[in-house]
Amino acid sequence: MFYMLVILFICSAAVNIFLFRSRLNLRTEIKYIRNKLRKVVNEETGERLLLNTEDKYIKSLLIQINRLLDHNQKIKGNCNSIELSMRKMLSNISHDLKTPLTVILGYIEIINNDKSLTSEKVMSLLKTVNLKTVEVLALINRFFELVKLESGDKKLNSSRIDICEVSRKIILDYYEILISKEFEVVIDIPDDSVFVSGDEDAIERVLNNLITNAIQYGSDGKMVGLKIRITDNDVFVEISDKGKGINEMHKDRVFERMYTLEDSRNTNYQGSGLGLTITKRLVEQMGGGISLDSVPFEKTIFSVRLKRIRF
């Protein structure tokens, strides 16, 4: 009996020691987690929690904490990227607004102060002021359109659209301009109707933007093409030109807000950098996509993918 009591006492003591050490280890591990998290938050580091533990619950907790830290770093990176993009966008908007506004103010100052101006000269200056004012308003409208698209305030209607009919209508609107500029016009549109799901106004805006872009930046190649390509589930509208194109360095950035090539800041290639961004957002809202393939002075193709409707 005595030996049984001794054995029970020893077992009880061993269990208590084990439990005490387990609690001590648990406290140490929790303290480590607390201190490490405090350091990560206070110092804004990208560290992860590394702890060699046998406790499966602590291991599971560490895995989830590290996932949360990784997610936090990703969000932080995205926020930094957006902030950088917004700063650049505001800088570019300031640049694009400053030029026409400076012209407007300069011409108004001339009209007000130069009493020797003839009525014909005054009318000529006022015509320029009007054109520059329209330019400023167009830029502001494009900017607010992009803001509405990205905030989700602008909702698009989805309906059954004959993409062949819309494409013919749009390219016909530009036909006189293209002929007067001595462009070759290459059209490959099926004779039969091809239907897509989308918003007709948005599709027209997309095609207008891309054709205008092809005329403006592809003028060296003297060619604009419009082709419709069909697959089982999608329809591709391809707008092409043979101009100076876009090299590999810029291909992935042309759809960014306010991104423009360096030479788009001169008088021959002026652009706000909003057109392609708006185009991409409109296409994405319709459940499609847009891609770019460019070989300078051979062929630059913007390909718009839309959902096909087969009935």
Helix (H) or strand (E) holding 65: helix 56-113
Options 3.40.50.300, 3.40.50.150, 3.30.565.10, 3.40.50.720; CATH for 159-309 is 3.30.565.10
pLDDT at position 306 is 96
Both tokens of 267, joined, read 């008088």
Q: How high is the mean pLDDT in each 10-residue block of the chain (311 residues)?
A: 53 49 65 77 76 76 82 81 71 74 88 88 90 84 76 80 95 90 93 93 92 88 94 95 82 65 40 75 92 89 94 72
Helix (H) or strand (E) holding 236: strand 234-241
pLDDT at position 22 is 55
pLDDT at position 196 is 96
Alpha carbon 146 to its chain's center: 10
Model confidence pTM above 0.75: no
How many Å apart are CA 174 and CA 185, to the nearest integer?
Answer: 10
How many Å apart are CA 283 and CA 72, to the nearest integer?
Answer: 30
How many Å apart are CA 45 and CA 67, to the nearest integer?
Answer: 15
- What DSSP state is assigned to residue 210? H
Q: At 250, phi and psi to the nearest 5?
A: -105, -10
> Could you tell me which residues come within 8 angstroms of residue 224 by beta carbon, excluding any fewer than 6 positions away?
174, 178, 183, 184, 185, 186, 211, 214, 215, 218, 239, 240, 241
Options 1.10.287.130, 3.40.50.300, 3.40.50.1820, 3.40.50.10800; CATH for 90-151 is 1.10.287.130
| 90-151 shares its CATH topology with 159-309 | no
Q: Do 243 and 294 meet the contact criterion of CB atoms below 8 Å apart?
A: no
Domain range annotation of the chain: 90-151, 159-309
pLDDT at position 24 is 56
How many Å apart are CA 67 and CA 116, to the nearest integer?
Answer: 74
